[in-house]
Structure 1
Amino acid sequence: MSDLDKALADIVAIRSQLVRGTAFSGYGSAAFAATAGLALATATAQSLLLDDPDGRPLTYFGAWIVTAVIALMLIGAEMRARARRHTGGLRDAMIHDAVEQFLPAGATGALLAMVLARVSPENLWLLPGLWQVLVSLGIFAGIRVMPRGVALVGAWYLVAGLAVLVVSGEGRHLSPWAMGVPFAVGQALMALVIRAASEANDAQD
């Protein structure tokens, strides 16, 4: 390896270390608050319009998948806008690092849904609780680059997911509120944590 190649490799390594050791300031409270409302709206619509979630699991989970996609788009749009203002030249690298933390949990959730639907559709009632547990793992995976207090959000999703598994296990039924309430509370809590961290940073500046 030439001296130039070694120097370039060192620069890349230093940049990567800098990104991974810096708290990501691209998260915004507005998008997370909006997704909390979106979760409640979806749960309310399903409770009014979907008489038998167990008999129509595709409709039940399809609505939540669409809700998740819209939520990710809202969070992503605000993330890019805020990162452009706060992280300068490290914007793309920091966004990539932040997204990378959640990819394993997201991919696992999608694969679990496909496997259960294919080999054990009678156990699809497990998915809401399992998804919440996976969200908690994704949050804990990215805790080092997220605002202080986010561990509380991860803990909420973990406890909520386990509680949903216990409660749903009694009747083994799908419920709109088993998704809506935990995600609405979790996203609202995340919005509060991010807002508090942003206000603390502004006070220090």
Structure 2
Amino acid sequence: MTDLDRALADIVAIRSQLTRGTAFSGYGPAAFAATAGLALATATAQTLLLAEPDAQPLAFFGGWIVAACGAVGLIGAEMRARARRHTGGLGNAMIHDAVEQFLPAGASGALLALVLARVAPESLWLLPGLWQVLVSLGIFAGIRVMPRGVALVGAWYLLAGLTVLVVTSEARSLSPWSMGLPFAIGQGLMALVIRAAPEADHAEG
């Protein structure tokens, strides 16, 4: 390895350390508040349109997958715009790092749904609670570069997921509100935490 190669490798390593050690200011409260509303809207629509969610699991989970994609789009768009304005040249690297931290939890949730649908469709009622637990793990994975209050959001999703599993264990049935309420409260709480954080205040200025 030449001196130039070593120097370039050192620069990449330093840049990576800066990215991972800097609080990510790309998250904005507006997108998270909008996703809270999206969760409530989805739960309301399914309550009105799906008389028996257990008899229509594809429609039930399809609706929530569409809502999740919409939420990712809203958060991603705001994240890119804010990161470019407030993190300088590290913006793209920090977005990549943020996605990388949450990706294992997201991929696990998708694979878990596929496996349950294939080998144990009678156990699909477990998915809402399990998905919330996985969201909490994704949040805790990225906590070092997020506002300290985000730990409360992670704790909420963990508690909500376990509670949903207990509450739905008797009937073992799907309910739009077992998804809608936990995610609406969790996303709303995330919006409040980010809004109150110093990084958010600086970003708004």
Let me know the Cα RMSD of the aligned residues: 1.3
Task: Please name the residue that 1:23 is paired with.
Answer: 23
In the alignment, the residues of structure 1 paired with residue 183 and residue 3 of structure 2 have an alpha-carbon distance, to the nearest angstrom, of: 52
Matches within 5 A, 1:30-69: 30-69=30-69
Matches within 5 A, 1:1-205: 1-198=1-198, 201-202=201-202
Q: Is the 8 A contact 2:129 2:162 kept in 1?
A: yes
**Residue deviations 1:98-144, cap 9 Å, x none?**
11010000000000000000000000000000000000000000000
Structure 1 residues 43 and 92, CA, compared in 2 at 3 Å: closer, same or farther?
Answer: same
**How far did residue 148 of structure 1 move?**
1.9
**TM-score normalised by length of structure 1:** 0.97
**How far did residue 201 of structure 1 move?**
4.5
Pairs aligned (count) = 204
**Residue deviations 1:155-182, cap 9 Å, x none?**
0000000000000111100000000000
In the alignment, the residues of structure 1 paired with residue 14 and residue 123 of structure 2 have an alpha-carbon distance, to the nearest angstrom, of: 47
**How far did residue 29 of structure 1 move?**
0.1
**Residue deviations 1:19-71, cap 9 Å, x none?**
00000000000000000000000000101110000000000000000000000
Identity %: 82
Structure 1 residues 176 and 91, CA, compared in 2 at 3 Å: closer, same or farther?
Answer: same
**How far did residue 199 of structure 1 move?**
7.2
In the alignment, the residues of structure 2 paired with residue 95 and residue 10 of structure 1 have an alpha-carbon distance, to the nearest angstrom, of: 21
SS in 2 for 1:170: coil
**How far did residue 198 of structure 1 move?**
4.2
In the alignment, the residues of structure 2 paired with residue 98 and residue 199 of structure 1 have an alpha-carbon distance, to the nearest angstrom, of: 16
User: Which letter does structure 2 place at the counterpart of 1:17?
Assistant: Q
Flag structure 2 segments of 5+ consecutive residues without an equivalent.
none
Range that drifts further, 13-22 or 194-203: 194-203
User: Which letter does structure 2 place at the counterpart of 1:18?
Assistant: L
In the alignment, the residues of structure 2 paired with residue 123 and residue 172 of structure 1 have an alpha-carbon distance, to the nearest angstrom, of: 8
Structure 1 residues 200 and 53, CA, compared in 2 at 3 Å: closer, same or farther?
Answer: closer
